[in-house]
Structure 1
Amino acid sequence: MESRGAVAVRAAELPPEVLTKVTEYATTLWDGLGLRGSARVDFILTEDDQPYVLEVNSTPGMSRDSNFVVGAAMVGLTHVDVVVAMLHEALARPPYDVPLPTPAFSGTTLTREAAVSP
Structure 2
Amino acid sequence: MRLRSKLWIVTDEGEKLFGDGPYRLLLGVQKTGSLKRAAEEQKMAYSKAYMMIKALEQRLGIKLLNFYKGGKGGGRAELTGDGLKLLEKYGEFRNRAQDYLDELFAAYFKEE
TM-score normalized with structure 2 length: 0.24
Higher helix share: 2
Output the TM-score relative to the length of structure 1: 0.23
